[in-house]
Structure 1
Amino acid sequence: MGCVTSLLNTFLFCFSTLLIFLSTISISTDTLTTTQSLTTNQTLSSPQGIFELGFFSYTNSTWYLAIWYKNIDHKTVVWVANRDTPLENPTGFLKIGDKGNNIVLIDQSLHQIWSSSNQTTTTTTSTRNSILQLLDSGNLVLKESNENYPTKFLWQSFDYPTDTLLPGMKLGWNLDTGMERHITSWKIKDKDPSSGDLSFKLNYHGLPEIFLWNKDQIIYRSGPWNGERFSGVPEMQPTTNSIKFIFHVDEHEVYYSFSIENQILFSRLFVSPIGELQRLTWIKTTQVWNKFWYAPKDQCDDYRMCGPYGICDTNASPVCQCVKGFHPKNQQNWNLRYGSDGCVRNKELDCESDKFFKLHNVKLPETTLVLVNRSMNLVECEDLCHKNCSCTAYANIEITNGGSGCVIWIGELIDMRQYPAGGQDIYVRLAASDVGFGGGSNGTNSTAKVAGIIVGGAALILLALGFFLLWKKNKLQCILKGKTEHRGSLERSHEFLMPEVGFSSKREQSSESNIDDLELPLFDFNTITIATNNFSEHNKLGQGGFGVVYKGILIEGQEIAVKRLSKNSGQGIEEFKNEVKLLVKLQHRNLVRLLGCSIQMDEKMLVYEYMENRSLDGILFDKSKRSSLDWNRRFSIICGIARGLLYLHQDSRFRIIHRDLKASNILLDKEMNPRISDFGMARIFVADQTEANTMRVVGTYGYMSPEYAMDGIFSVKSDVFSFGVLVLEIISGKKNRGFYYANKEWNLLGHSWKQWIEGNALELIDSSIGDLYSQSEVLRCIQVGLLCVQEHAEDRPTMSSVVLMLSSETAVMAQPKNPGFCLGRNLAETDSSSSKQDESFTVNHVTVTMLEAR
């Protein structure tokens, strides 16, 4: 039996070798006949040499049959036949099937691993006279050799795109056959061509539009075609290189395509594994693919960003606004810049008396479930919508030639966006009292004139009042000029809770004490100028909200970091004095050390010890650097920050609340030891004080605790919340602000909580760490992080408890409750107090600092 098996294997090897030899000596340039095969060391070229068909491998262990641009240096693959069934040996080959009506891919054992017969349009009729040809369009076609009709094929690759849409390809549906054409990303760009998670698909229901999906979640919507472009792509214009966009709708087909008249231009639509839809054009002069357009490109491109009846506008703050006549459904979440709950009507509709409010230049709401009539005009469309009490809005289908067609929305208006120009008009149904003067399609010229008169008169009154108030203000300033202000205003005395630290007792202490009284080494301005090479750009370490930080070297060789306060920063003077007063008395190995200051030449500068590795965020959030932070270093950084906070909260002479703890305010020395920096926002508490309130909330969005951001209440537990965010960022290597998981419903806190309660917490760990970490240590840190970011301040641990939990494997740890600001639905209600989270809040005036790393 063994001899028979050996002989059979030998025969198969010889037979496949013979096929390879025969195909090598007989293959044509752009075609393959029924007597030929294409081996892994051969290619077909299109007639003008634009595209090439052959085999490629990234790993030398799997081979794929593919089409790529022939004359572009780095191989750009545009189609892969066997993307999910690769060859596992380079001795496979491609041939036309025995019946001549399909193509098959054969492996080294002569087994068929891929066939075009698996694709539904392949004909079942046998033919002995077929050829396989690669066209200059990039289309691989199987046809009868004597067939001259340019589109009559037995099979074509254009019907089965992979991740790329080429000119002439159709993305959409053949409604007669039920065939769908869409593009799907690779698993890993330039590494793994198997089917990935991202796909771009056309939905032909209602008014057709195209969606970008991540698995089963929509992440972007094009908007419907309006005759010129997609409603959600206002920049979609034919280019000077003659890219023509095509959208076809009839009873047989619905598809999107594009063509290029300039034959020397290469352009393709591509779904990237990173979650983007990209239009790329080849730049011959630089030999690179240029990202001509991409989506989603900002937060307003995110699907359902502002929920029902919300409209997203990147030029507004916050970006989510309610349509006129509506208000936020969940005011608390809306205040936190989370708008997916959307808006609800101010007043109920009355049907007969309702009017319509015109929104200009918007991306039309989702059109999957709309009513469509292509023969109606806009007046007829309004009449139809008004008679149907379920109609919520209407618009033209096409905007060309003055507009035509009618689309009517019956349900909620979802995923709208405001554009400065280039969008489309839509008419939203409102209660008559909510429309007001001049609003809506049934407003009259007379009402517009009345409104104009009223607005004009009001403007004149306000202008006169403004001049009067300005005159009064200048007069008051003259009266007060030259007087010493021994006490600040009520707001200032309420805000500036700091007792005077580091000032001479010879002079009466006040918040306006002279800076010359500081008990701190003073640096000469010229000394700092020489040390920083006259504040050269080469020495610049970073720039924050109140000034620039430079590296310097003193004459004796000591390296320093100089924070030069911006002269035109009104807030900066208070920050400068605050930081000096605090740091002069603080000494701890995990706090940055202040060496001195300079107050000459109208300059205010702080001089710190220099941190060789700069700020934590510069390494943690940089893909090229984060691998230098192995788990031991990350754990050491977490513990060091905890010890520094414990010193501030409990062990220093005063109880100090930092109020702006974040990754960019953690500096790293040459040994990667962490130092907490930037005490400009910090506050001192007296001995028995546990919390305070401020009318001016300062800090960084993403790190602020709920009670501080919403009510201005800060305490040691505010810092604990920020520390918890920082712990989860250090573990995951991802920012809480700007990180959204899957369908963008969860930020980092919500995602971490979800993974924790589902038992998948270890999936949070940064992949750059590898496998060299202690699972129990990581889980302990994740649990500590989640305990620190709990919604209610009283549930959070103190820093002394945190340090104990981090340092002891036997410490008893509570189970965390749901975090604050997780920006998503609660997966589990663990506390009766959670029922309060639907209450509305009024946000104090918030000042958010976005300081750069130093």
Structure 2
Amino acid sequence: MKSITTRHHCSITTLLFFTILSFFTSKFASSLDTLTATESLVNGQTLISTSQDFELGFFTPGNSRNWYVGIWYKNIPRTYVWVANRDNPLTNSSGTFKILNQSIVLFDRAENLIWSSNQTNARNPVMQLLDSGNLVLRDQESDSGQFLWQSFDYPTDTLLPDMKFGWDLNTGVNRFLRSWKSSDDPGTGDFSFKLEYHGFPEAFLLKDQEIKYRSGPWNGQRFSGVPEMEPVDYMSFNFITNQDEVYYSFHISNKSLYSRLSVTSSGLLQRFAWVPETQQWSQFWYAPKDQCDDYRECGPYGICDSNASPVCKCMKGFQPKNIQAWNLRDGSSGCVRRTDLNCLKDKFLHMRNMKLPESETTYVDRNTSLKDCELMCSRNCSCTAYANSNISNGGSGCVFWTGELFDMRQYPKGGQDLYVRLAASDIGDGSSAGTIIIGIAVGIGILILALSGFSIWKRKRLLSVCNGNTPQKGPQDRSQDFLLNGVVISKKDYTGERSTDELELPLLDFSTIATATNNFADENKLGEGGFGRVHKGRLVEGQEVAVKRLSKNSVQGTEEFKNEVRLIARVQHRNLVRLLGCCVEKDEKILIYEFMENRSLDFVLFNKAKSSLLNWQRRFNIICGIARGLLYLHQDSRFRIIHRDLKASNILLDHEWTPKISDFGMARMFGGDQIQANTVRVVGTYGYMSPEYAMDGLFSAKSDVFSFGVLVLEIVCGEKNRGFYHSFSELNLLGHVWRQWKDGKGLEVLDKSVGNSYSPCEVLRCIQVGLLCVQEKAEDRPTMSSAVLMLSSETATMPQPRTPGYCLGRSPFETDSSSSKQDESFSVNHVTVTVLDAR
């Protein structure tokens, strides 16, 4: 009897337990991925998609104190893909997320409405988190594929697989991406990525209302301005355009792979793929990445080519509209026709591998052959160009331009064919005119050969001078070095055509530069270094420039001058300073750069009266900009370039505080498969030099990474790294930051002039990246591609840094008898060190 009573008691207890559990479970959710109209979600509870890929719930980003409802990857360190109340956060953790009046709503603790979806006409609504990461509201009694509302129609900063990017023309819904304000604030940021469906659809990246980058129109396979956009086995791209909708999407066939496209708070479009082996997001595409990605960089009818120098050129039959600005590498005014058009007599120039021009006002006929395209365009006198609207399967359809052609770019491969209207004489069409040309050529052939020979000799002589190889000459020809109003102009200056070895750079005469700088007046002096002085100047047309004049007493400037001309003129990037021209006349060697309104980083960063101008957002943008510039030099430029003298004084800041890496006098170019070199001539600046370079003369891309790490820590701390020596038994900056990091006091090294408006998460991420970059062993340091990823991603898994490299060098205050036996000069942070090999 006792046994039966005990058993009966246990049954009642068990039944009561499951009854209570069932009650509380039903009050929360009928299943892990679904919420009904009688249930609600509060902090600590989440919806999880059936596949366990995505999770929805309450979160607080970074070190923010505000709370949001959003969606993130469940099995990946927090990467948020959608936020409901991005611009109206909860001020505490108490909130309720539920269905009310056929809408999804969010209430705060006081029952104030914080956010809501559109109201629907659902009779029995349910909310569900799908395996795609899409939060939907549907009628429980209807087809599960019919959604009354979905989060995919209201993206934040991320595009997921099978998510539509573009327009529903029936409802007027425009699905576009908008950046977060910062890593701590998912509120609406400055940058947006939108699809323009008028004309020939294409996408634009904007900062507020200003266009920064254009994708080019969809050509059936890819956006014409994204030649890297190649389908792979697991990923395909789709573009749909009809009377109901215009949108782009991508599809991942392997469900175990994750990929996303995001627009960052710093204004980058980035595509990531998750790499399980490294537990990190891998960035395999981003834009804008170089100068040619800048919107309308070369103006109307200008062609941008990042593999040319300068990057802007005019197509055949056109010439620069503003020749003086063009020669100073400002191509924004574009090109104009050499010969007026004559409608029915005009011809078409065939251009290959092109990013198609801006296409918002074009006319598209998707059922026309390319041959008919030419006929239709030739008969319409206002038609300026045409191309296939679809390049798949040999090409089909037509797109017609009727105005000026903007934002064109030429690629080594990729892009597509473009046909531009030109006067027949500019095409070089031959028939009867050919006979006349041949006759004239025979008559003046000898004269042409003579003039050509003299021109080639003269040009090579001037280029040899500009490269530092001054030829022997007598007094009678010293005054003949610079003619044509001080600027040497050839056909190549107009077209941008040149061989790989030949370098075209505008040559200005000394009198022009002296006038521009008020005869190098002291009040125009911007700075001074081992090379010589830098002065501010203003050219006749009003353009401000920086003039770098080689000191006649400099023992290190001639080689650096030649190197600068050879290297920096060949590379173009938004985070590299532009070399506009040079002057070599008599004993003068001068370089002319674009003027940077905010001077150099060290001028502001280490000046206590000015350092407050560098708030945290500016500092973080400067760090990221320097990283992207170095990545371009190491990986994305035509030549792999090691800078070798990266330091605060060689980072210039324009009027928007955009950083530009300068001073390539000590840079070295690597071959495609070369990763390291050795030198007996160690150059650089103590305080920024890697141990293996300072000690053994070994330099590589990891040497620049070390210098970058020092720069990062200086920018965060607002202090100089005092060189690789101990002063009064105190550690240098690297050691100080390292000690604070190990003690969990990383935020204590932040420059106090930053104030309180900063993201602790970003600060700590920058410190960790900086310490990773200054590790003693070169193989432990990350590549610049990894550094860029770690800086830009809030969820990238980063290793813990090891001990920084301490290269102990002689203090400049120490002297001994042996020091005078070497041709050696060095200092800390400011002055370049050059250890010359014996002659």
**TM-score interval (norm. to shorter):** 0.5 to 0.7
Residues in 1 aligned to 2:579 and 2:586: alpha-carbon distance in whole angstroms: 9
Q: Give how far 1:661 is off.
A: 7.8
Alignment partners' CA distance in 2, 1:316 and 1:647: 31
- Residue matched to 2:630: none
1:26-37 alignment, distance < 5 Å = 28-37=31-40
SS in 2 for 1:385: helix
How much does 1:252 deviate?
0.8
Tell me the amino acid that sits aligned with residue 123 of structure 2: T
Superposition pairs for residues 168-567 of structure 1, below 5 Å? 168-188=162-182, 190-240=183-233, 242-437=234-429, 491=478
Q: Provide the C-alpha distance between the structure 2 equivalents of 1:49 and 1:270, rounded to a whole number of angstroms.
A: 22
For 1:448-496, what per-residue CA distance to the aligned partner results, in whole angstroms no more than 9, with x for missing partners? Answer: 9x99xx99xx9xx99xx99xx99xx9xxxxxxxxxxx99899559999x
Query: Deviation of residue 751 (structure 1)?
Result: 5.5
* Alpha-carbon distance, 1:679 to partner: 9.4
Aligned residue type for 1:31:
T
Amino acid at match of 1:40: N
| Closer/same/farther in 2, CA of residues 169 and 307 from structure 1, 3 Å limit | same
Partner in structure 1 of residue 159 of structure 2: 165
Q: Who is 1:658 aligned against? A: 532
CA distance in 2, matches of 1:720, 1:334: 14
Note closer, same or farther for the CA distance 1:292–1:749 as it changes in structure 2 (3 Å cut). closer
Distance 2:400 2:590 in 1: 51
Cα deviation code 1:615-662 (max 9, x no counterpart)? xxxxxxxxxxxxxxxxxxxxxxxxxx989989999xxxxxx9925689
Using the size of structure 2 for normalisation, the TM-score is 0.55
Q: Secondary structure at the match of 1:158?
A: helix
Matches for 1:726-745 after TM superposition, within 5 Å:
726=599, 730=604
> In 1, Cα distance between the equivalents of 2:596 and 2:353?
43
Measure, in 2, the Cα distance between the counterparts of 1:113 and 1:92. Answer: 9
Distance 1:340 1:54, change over 3 A: same
Change (3 A) 1:380 1:143: same
SS in structure 1 of the partner of residue 396 of structure 2: coil
Aligned to 1:66: 70
1:42 is paired with a residue of what secondary structure? Answer: coil
1:545 — aligned with what?
none
**Alignment match, 1:127:** 123
Q: Which amino acid aligns with 1:137?
A: S
After TM superposition, give the deviation of residue 682 of structure 1 in Å: 3.2
Contact residue 49 and residue 136 of structure 1 kept, 8 A: yes
Aligned ranges for residues 2-41 of structure 1 at < 5 Å?
Answer: 28-41=31-44
Partners of 2:623 and 2:333 in 1: CA distance: 19
Mapped partners of 1:276, 1:290: distance in 2? 15
| Change in CA separation of 1:40 and 1:492 when aligned onto 2, cut-off 3 Å | farther
Q: Provide closer, same or farther for how the CA distance between residues 767 and 215 of structure 1 changes in structure 2, counting only shifts above 3 A.
A: farther
> What is the match of residue 108 of structure 1?
109
Residue 143 of structure 1 aligns to a residue in which SS?
Answer: strand
How far residue 93 of structure 1 moved from its aligned partner, in angstroms, is: 1.2
For the residue of structure 2 that corresponds to 1:300, the secondary structure is: helix
- Superposition deviation, residue 388 in structure 1: 1.1
Unpaired stretches in structure 1, ≥5 consecutive residues: 1-19, 474-484, 496-640, 650-655, 663-677, 685-693, 741-746, 754-765, 775-850
Q: Distance in 1 between matches of 2:161 and 2:391?
A: 25
Q: Are residue 42 (structure 1) and residue 45 (structure 2) matched? A: yes
**Cα offset, 1:65, TM superposition:** 0.4
- Give how far 1:191 is off: 1.3
Q: Quote the offset at 1:28 in angstroms.
A: 3.0
Secondary structure of the residue aligned to 1:94 is: strand
2:569 is equivalent to residue 682 of structure 1: no
The one-letter code matched in structure 2 to 1:357 is L
Partner of 1:56: 59
Alpha-carbon distance in structure 2 between the residues aligned to 1:313 and 1:366: 16
- Where 1:82 maps in the other structure, the secondary structure is coil
Q: Which amino acid aligns with 1:127?
A: R
- Asked if the contact 1:365–1:413 (Cα under 8 Å) also holds between the matched residues in 2, the reply is yes
Matched-pair contact (CA < 8 Å) for 1:660–1:682: no
Task: Assess, with a 3 A threshold, how the Cα gap between structure 1 residues 704 and 320 changes in structure 2: closer, same or farther.
Answer: closer
Q: How does 1:126-165 map to 2 (within 5 A)?
A: 126-128=122-124, 130-149=125-144, 151-165=145-159
Check conservation: 1:201, 1:210, Cα contact below 8 A. Answer: yes
**TM-score, normalisation: structure 1:** 0.54
CA–CA distance in structure 2, aligned partners of residues 721 and 363 of structure 1: 27
- CA distance change for structure 1 residues 168 and 710 in 2, over 3 Å: closer, same or farther? same
Structure 2: how far apart are the matches of 1:142 and 1:720?
58
Residue 608 of structure 1 is matched in structure 2 by: none
Contact 2:349 2:420 in 1 (8 A): yes
* 3-state SS of 1:338 partner: coil
Quickly say closer, same or farther: Cα 1:721–1:331, change in 2 above 3 A: closer
Q: Deviations over 1:83-109 (max 9, x none)?
A: 001111211110111x3x211001000
Tell me the alpha carbon deviations over residues 497-523 of structure 1, each in whole angstroms, 9 at most, x when there is no partner. Answer: xxxxxxxxxxxxxxxxxxxxxxxxxxx
Q: Aligned partners of 2:254 and 2:594: how far apart in 1?
A: 58
CA shift, 1:275, in A, is 1.1
SS in 2 for 1:68: strand
Q: Are 2:549 and 2:590, in contact at CA under 8 Å, matched by a contact in 1?
A: no
CA gap 1:710/1:388 in 2 versus in 1, 3 angstroms: farther
Alignment coverage as a number of residue pairs: 529
Cα offset, 1:726, TM superposition: 3.8
Superposition CA RMSD, Å: 5.1
Query: Compared with structure 1, are the counterparts of its residues 405 and 427 closer, same or farther at alpha carbon in structure 2 (3 Å cutoff)?
Result: same
Question: Do the aligned partners of residues 138 and 489 (structure 1) sit closer, same or farther apart at CA in structure 2, a change above 3 Å counting?
Answer: farther
Instruction: Provide the C-alpha distance between the structure 1 equivalents of 2:358 and 2:408, rounded to a whole number of angstroms.
Output: 8
Is the 8 Å Cα contact of residues 657 and 715 (structure 1) preserved in structure 2?
no
Contact map agreement 1:300 1:314 (CA 8 A) in 2:
yes
Q: Assess, with a 3 A threshold, how the Cα gap between structure 1 residues 704 and 292 changes in structure 2: closer, same or farther.
A: closer
Work out which structure has the larger RCO, using CA pairs closer than 8 Å and 6 or more positions apart in sequence.
2
Instruction: Report the counterpart of residue 3 of structure 1 in structure 2.
Output: none
Check 1:490–1:21 CA distance in 2 against 1; reply closer, same or farther (3 A cut).
farther
1: CA distance, partners of 2:291 / 2:274: 28
Partner secondary structure for residue 217 of structure 2: coil
Per the TM alignment, residue 178 of structure 1 is displaced from its structure 2 partner at its CA by: 1.1
Q: Percent identity?
A: 49
Give the secondary structure class of the aligned counterpart of 2:417. strand
Structure 2 distance, partners of 1:233, 1:43, is: 38
Structure of larger gyration radius: 1
The letter of the residue matching 1:78 is V
Q: Does the Cα contact within 8 Å between 2:550 and 2:589 map onto a contact in 1? A: no
Structure 1 Cα separation of the partners of residues 104 and 417 of structure 2 = 50
